[in-house]
């Protein structure tokens, strides 16, 4: 099961978030899914699509690369790197055209081949510094 769970988690980053294939979300996420992020909680498939749209509004060319995964039981931890250009509004910061690299870790809980719950910890401070919203060294 670990191999299948890792593949499902990888699909989130590569097919949904990097390729924008939102049609997959309904088959990958349970109706009462909850995702915990620093930008707020994500609820259900529609919340997952909305969250992805927010990311792509700020960084239309966003691509996420899976660096490593560990699976145990019903949990998959994924270390990832996201790259994109700040060509849209993000968290109230107007576009700067700056290239951004973001690293983070997401842990998904999976049941019956679907995402049930998730926890994402990205380096948002680093992103805000890269787009000039927060000075370096803070």
DSSP code of residue 123:
-
**pLDDT tens track for 5-41:** 999 999 999 999 999 899 999 999 999 999 999 999 9
Domains of the chain (ranges, CATH numbers): 2-130 (3.10.450.50)
User: Strand, helix or coil at 35?
Assistant: strand
User: What is the model's pTM?
Assistant: 0.93
**CB atoms near residue 46 (< 10 Å):** 15
**pLDDT tens track for 85-122:** 999 999 999 999 999 999 999 999 999 999 999 999 99
**pLDDT tens track for 32-43:** 999 999 999 999
Q: How confident is the model at residue 138 (pLDDT cuts 50, 70, 90)?
A: low
């Amino acid at each position: 099961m670990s191999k299948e769970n890792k593949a499902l988690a990888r699909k989130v980053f590569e097919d949904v978030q990097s390729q924008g294939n939102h049609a997959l979300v309904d088959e990958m996420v349970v109706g009462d899914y909850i995702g915990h992020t620093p930008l707020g909680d994500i609820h259900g498939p529609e919340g997952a699509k909305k969250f992805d749209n927010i990311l792509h509004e700020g960084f239309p060319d966003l691509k996420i690369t899976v660096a490593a995964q560990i699976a145990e039981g019903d949990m998959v931890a994924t270390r990832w790197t996201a790259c994109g250009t700040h060509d849209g509004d993000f968290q109230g910061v107007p576009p700067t055209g700056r290239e951004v690299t973001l690293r983070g870790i997401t842990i998904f809980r999976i049941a019956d081949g679907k995402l049930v719950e998730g926890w994402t910890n990205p380096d948002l401070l680093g992103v805000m510094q890269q787009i000039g919203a927060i000075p370096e060294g803070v």
